[in-house]
Structure 1
Amino acid sequence: MQTGSISSQPPLDKFLVCGLGSLGQYCVLALKNFGVSVIAIEQIKPYSWEIPELTDLLEDLIFGDCRHPELLKSAQIDQCRAALIVTTNEQVNAETALTIRQLNPHTRLVIRSSKENLNELLNEQLGNFIAYEPTQLPITAFTLAALGSETLSFFNLDGEKLRVIQRQIPKGDRWCNLSGVHELNTRTRRILAHTDHLTSLPSTFHQWDGNAPILPGDTLVYIETAENFLLLPKRESSTPTQAQKSIHSKNPLKRLKRYLQGKLYHFWHSTLQQPTRKVALICGLIVLFLLLTGTILLMISHPGTTLLSAFSATAILLLGGYSDLFGDFQQMDDIPAWLQLYSLGLSLAGTAFVGVLYALVTEGLLSAKFQFLKNRPPIPGQDHIVIIGLGRVGQGVANYLQELKQSIVGLTFELDFDRTILPEMPLIVANQKEALAQANLATAKSVVVVTNDEILNLEVALMAQKINKNAHLVVRTLGERLSQSLTLLLPKAQVLGAYAVAAEAFAGAAFGENIISVFRLARQTILVTEYQIEDIDTLHGLLLSEVAYGYGVVPILHQKPPDTSKFMPSDDIRLTVGDRMVVLATIEGLKRIEQGKLRISPKCWRVKVEKAITPDGIFEGANIIARISGCSLNTARELMNNLPHTLSTPLYKPQAMRLVRALKKVQVFANIISTSSQSSKI
């Protein structure tokens, strides 16, 4: 059933969740945030629930195999608008989807599956079907958290990047110079909410006054396109510090000495953290000592021997060449016994220690996998984002941040990590202490900890906070209990449960395949929803202003095929069959559109046109009135020719205020008048 259409089918007002593992329980919670009725099926009753109040959220809880038709019938599948099939067994999920489709051809199917080819085939056969891999869904949420608290959502729409921002206006901000909030609405930006420092954000859209001034401390929520923002990393200052000046002012010998001391210090600490390097250092020093002592002894025992000859003979012995020097049995009588024994010991020791060095070199070559890749970018010095854990989630976050031109560094503790991944990203592969030290954590602006090990995430998060208390810390968890505990332990960190985030997307998809994205605003879930206008739609023939203010949604895209999409479209566009529209809406807004019910506050404002200063104002004023109010052009011209006069077409307050402002630009003065006869001059 097309959302926004009138249908002869009975209303499907229930939602079914099959599988109450961690993901299933969070799906129930997410659906209840939408205010809908939820029924659940779980195979075996668990000893305890991860969400303690789960049973209170359900209309009915049934235990058994969700693949059985009789069990699905008892779960009222015939009345279910959508079924979220999220067991941990993908075969069970697919079989359940097939069974549900046989019982109810209209139920929306949202399943948990990582098999892309199978998902495409099932979509073709079953219809009204979508599948997600829950480990991939939280990527956007972690990316948003890494960017900071201002960014509420980020999504792609028709190849354009859009983001939702919640921003508190600082003192001296350029926006404080505007005459009113309405001036911020442009072709690339749309205001969603505006409040002062004493008022909390409203739970519905369009509750702000377009003529209100913007003051320091006010909060603005708005959506904007990529054309209106550039998320570029902060550049490091090109001005040298005093310490740098002092270093460069020294003579070359002192700079060289300082450089060598730094390298030696770094090498020594790296040997303490990596045992293999320590072994290599010890073996190397022993071989060097044997080489020097052997050279000296040979020169003492044979005074006529040159330094080069003694050095070469000692090196040959260390490399196992005892037979090369003492291979002639008849000549051995001329060589002192102590020198023969010493040379034999030298050869044996050299074989042992040089052999160790050979082994370590071979290990280093093998661990490098002979990857002669182009050099990665250097590790950023400051204001960068550190991504710890480069599994599928970490790689996804890194890709997203690179698209946003953020300065990042990836960090993994897996020494066998595939170094061909994300070649444009600075990469650190080492153990914990060394990796954190190399990542310049003390000067990072954000740290994202997303390994697959919850305990490791906890440990690394605590280490990161100890190193940099000012960094924006984002931590991945799986369970509710650990999330709550970590939130108490790290109150400034953003702790995101992977399943809780994924459940929001599953729940959003349950309301139709036209749900593009989901985010939270003022404790409300906002759905980015797409509509295709049909002749039986409740939206057919309405102005976008009537859609926006009547149903409490925010249109952000309009397309009249085959024309290209228009972002932040004009309120004066009238929807016709075939049009495509994308709106921001709460679940209540979607319900009103589906049922064709306008909000409680109707059109209760009219516009009284007082006078026009010029004849051109009369002509242009009529065009503006017809365009914004939706009345006929003849009605508008008749009004302008009989001033003062009140427009008979009722309007929503934001619509009426915009009309008055537009008339003022052509030197036509008007007021808005409420149906209670209270007037307000603009």
Structure 2
Amino acid sequence: MKLNRFLVCGLGSLGQHCVLALQQFGVKIVAIEQVAPQSWEVPNLVNLLDDLIIGDCRENNVLAQAQIQACRAALIVTSNEGVNAEIALAIRQLNPQTRLVVRSAKTNLNRLLSQQLGNFIAYEPIELPAHSFAIAALGTDTVGFFNLDGYWLRVVRQRMSPDHPWCNARRLHEINTRSQKLLAHNGSATDLGFYQWPFEELVTAGDVVTYIELADRFSLHATPDRPIAAGKKTKQPQIARWARQAADRFMRFWRSNFQQQVHRVALICCLIVIVLLAIATVLFHQYHPNTTWVSAFYASAILLLGGYGDLFGDFEQISMIPWWLQTFALVLSLAGTAFVGVLYAVLTESLLSSKFQFVKQRPPVPQQNHIIIVGLGRVGQQVALLLQQFKQAVVGVTLQPDINSTLLPDLPIITGNIAQSLAQANLPTAKSVIIVTDDEMLNLEVALMVQSIDPQLDLIIRTSGQRLSQHLTKTLPTARVLGMHTVSAEVFAGAAFGENILNLFHSDRQTILVTEYAIESGDTLDRLLLAEVAYGYGVVPILHQRNSHPETLMPTDDILLANGDRLVVLATTESLRRIDIGDRHPKFWYVEVELAMTAESTFEGANIIGRISGCSLRIARDLMENLPGILNVPLYQHQAQRLVYALEKVRVKAKIRPIDPIAQRLSLI
């Protein structure tokens, strides 16, 4: 019998959320915290604990007080990675079997500890939610996108349009193929399982269908652009379009901050110098005898550079040039000294601020259909890297004025005042905004600012506290509020049961975990058909591998699991809990076989019954040779309907029937 006691070391924000996640599994939870906090981030946390111990997790006597010998797993989630490593070593000395789930970002150390200690897994809580933020910001039908054994899989939530190929042409069960599987229909609740959809119902316009498919890695790039403004597009001459684009660029340049107003002054000075140079060239050519345009231009340039003495330095009277032109030349020289001096100052400041580093210039800010990331800390950087892998146009906004030039060199970055930075980032034409600074109040301020500018914009907000997440969800119902530690805690809790959480995504406000199982003799998955795993535990198998054989994506329900098999499923925390304790949903349906059209139908029908139901071939042949009859093997509803559908293909007439009237009421179809 499996132990039912779990230890949480460290009750910071992540530790408290781990307790909350473990509580959903109905297990006994013991926690160790060095100092009792004055208040809890998770309300009534103490009531969720079977025991709270105040002490140092690294001390053997404290671990003994927590009954570490009886603990199935230990979640080591303090904020100090060095302390976490010490705790892991101390626990392993006291209990060689306890599952160790550690908070750590040191990849090499984690690998070495895993080899040395065994039954050890480590996660970086900063990296875990980054994938959720990146997917949420895509602003497309994609709600999940991850790599599995070199294959890219995409989870799509799509509303059916009348011209969609599936509309009025395909039944829901026919969406399941060798490259895709149906997850939900019209928002069927995932906490009840993934199979709350009518098997035979036709796909119609307006239906919302969620499915997972084998996808090209860069298929996310082919999304429709968001229009800049409403209205019909009209054809314009090329010159007029260039002029409008030039004017738009000038206005963006003029509104930009540059961190200093002196840059605008420099622009004005440059324009004045050009105007003075043109006027002086014309005057000298007009009123100085025997001069050429080139000579007039050079003389004007010399005066602007302070060279009045070079041209009019003699004490002798210059009768060839009118007195007023000589006075204008003096004014020109003084003006040039002032205005050209400003240009020299700006150039010097630019050279000094660059610290003489010749670095690659960042790309320009995208004009439309891009994603704005506010906050370029560790989370923001991870999100930016993921979005760039997805071939999305991204721009970063940060309040730090001195950004490292080597940080994300391929990402356009805007610094300075947040309001001006958002305008400079082309907020009105953006696809979505991700707000992931470390300051929750700043995240709230920016979210409200963006909401006031464009209420229709996709908004993704990072939070840490549970209360703030709940308040924001109610205040900004269209925004997606993702709690950093809430998402991470679900992964830590799932991993505590011995499973490997490969990835996660959110669908219909549920966290879906991509979970890997290694089938062992005698566990709750051994010797089960994939149909029994899928419908019994409410998970979606997406990969199966037997020993050293090649993996199979989107496996059929007819595979019988055995010791040594590898299985990857989509699951909720409720599904993981059911698998852990072997709590499968009951089977409520029989299949009644009425008629086989031919002898070949009889033969093939028996094979199909044995394969899909899992019964012995002898039972299947006895049934087909004594028709009509009922297959006395209970089945799940989708399993039974799939059997009837397969029998119809070989000309065997059959139907499903409930075991008792209660099943009819329990069915969601």
- For residues 475-528 of structure 1, the C-alpha deviation after alignment (integer angstroms, 9 at most, x for no partner) is 223334544454454332222222222222222222224232345667766543
Q: Tell me how far 1:474 sits from its aligned partner.
A: 0.9
Equivalence for 1:492: 478
Query: Which aligned pairs between 1:445-524 and structure 2 lie closer than 5 A?
Result: 445-518=431-504
- For residue 30 of structure 1, what is the aligned residue in structure 2? 21
User: How far did residue 21 of structure 1 move?
Assistant: 1.9
How far apart are the structure 1 equivalents of 2:231 and 2:507? Answer: 43
Tell me the distance in 2 between the aligned counterparts of 1:637 and 1:139: 54
Alignment of 1:210 with 2:199, yes or no, is yes
Contact 1:445-1:470 at 8 Å conserved across structures? no
Please report the TM-score for the alignment, with normalisation by the length of structure 1: 0.82
Deviates more, 1:211-220 or 1:502-511: 211-220
Aligned residue for 1:647, secondary structure, equals: strand
Which secondary structure does the structure 1 equivalent of 2:137 belong to? helix
Q: After alignment, is 300-309 or 181-190 more displaced?
A: 300-309
Q: Distance in 2 between matches of 1:332 and 1:215?
A: 97
**Letter paired with 1:466:** S
Equivalent position of 1:189 in the other structure: 180
Output aligned runs, 1:51-130, within 5 Å: 51-130=42-121
CA distance in 1 between counterparts of 2:207 and 2:538 reads 23
Specify the alignment match of 1:543 in structure 2: 529
Q: Distance in 2 between matches of 1:229 and 1:642?
A: 55
| Range moving further from structure 2, 367-376 or 403-412 | 367-376
Pick aligned residue for 2:34 from 40, 43, 46 = 43
Q: Distance in 2 between matches of 1:270 and 1:205?
A: 50
| Amino acid in structure 1 at the alignment position of 2:18 | C
In structure 2, relative to structure 1, the CA distance for the partners of 1:348 and 1:77 (3 Å cut) is: farther
The 8 Å contact of residues 140 and 223 in structure 2, kept in 1 or not, is answered as: no
CA displacement at 1:56 relative to structure 2:
2.1
Question: How far does the alpha carbon of each residue in 1:287-330 deviate from its partner, in whole angstroms, 9 at most, with x for none?
Answer: 55776788799899987877755654554354355775688xxx
**How far apart, in 1, do the equivalents of 2:280 and 2:217 lie?**
74
Match of residue 386, structure 1, among 350, 355, 372? 372
Give % identity. Answer: 56
Q: In 2, Cα distance between the equivalents of 1:75 and 1:218?
A: 52
- Secondary structure of 2:56's match? coil
Q: Secondary structure at 1:224's aligned position in 2?
A: strand
Matches within 5 A, 1:310-325: 312-313=298-299, 315-316=301-302, 318-319=304-305, 321=307
- Give the aligned partner of residue 5 of structure 2: 14
Tell me the C-alpha RMSD between the 2 structures.
Answer: 4.3
The answer as to whether partners of 2:596 and 2:653 remain within 8 angstroms in 1 is yes
**Contact 2:6–2:71 (CA<8 Å) still a contact in 1?**
yes
Q: Is the 8 A contact 1:318 1:351 kept in 2?
A: yes
| Amino acid across the alignment from 2:128 | L
Deviation at 1:263, TM superposition (A): 5.6
2:551 alignment partner AA: S
Contact 1:526–1:584, Cα closer than 8 Å, also in 2: yes
2:541 matched to which residue of 1?
A: 555
Deviations 1:113-142 (A, max 9, x none): 222222222222222222222222211121
Structure 1 residue ranges without an equivalent (≥5): 1-9
State the Cα distance separating 1:668 from its structure 2 match: 0.9
Aligned to 2:41, the other structure's residue is in SS state coil
Change (3 A) 1:48 1:185: same
Contact 1:203 1:523 in 2 (8 A): no
Q: Which residue of 2 aligns with 1:667?
A: 651
Question: Partners of 1:77 and 1:513 in 2: how far apart?
Answer: 20
| Larger CA deviation: 492-501 vs 451-460 | 451-460
TM-score, structure 2 length as denominator? 0.83
Measure the CA separation in 1 of the matches of 2:176 and 2:566.
21
Matched residues in 1 for 2:516 and 2:637: separation?
26
Contact 2:281 2:296 in 1 (8 A): yes
What SS does the aligned partner of 2:72 have? strand
Q: Deviations over 1:190-242 (max 9, x none)?
A: 234446x8x8666234444423455666655443332699432215789x976
Quick check: 1:271–1:278 contact (8 Å CA) kept in 2? Answer: no
Instruction: Provide, for residues 55-78 of structure 1, a one-character-per-residue CA deviation record: whole Å limited to 9, x for no partner.
Output: 222222222222111112212222
Q: Report the CA distance between 1:151 and its aligned residue.
A: 5.2
Report the Cα distance in structure 1 between the residues aligned to 2:448 and 2:179, rounded to whole angstroms: 41
Where does residue 5 of structure 1 map in the other structure? none
Q: 1:626 aligned to 2:613?
A: no
Q: Which amino acid aligns with 1:627?
A: R
Kindly tell me: are residues 540 and 438 of structure 1, through their superposed partners in 2, closer, same or farther at Cα, counting changes over 3 Å? same
The separation in 1 between residues aligned to 2:277 and 2:518, in whole angstroms, is: 83
Aligned: 1:137 with 2:137: no
CA distance in 2, matches of 1:272, 1:533: 60
Aligned pairs, number: 660
Q: Deviations over 1:624-675 (max 9, x none)?
A: 1222222333443343233223334443333232222211111111233444
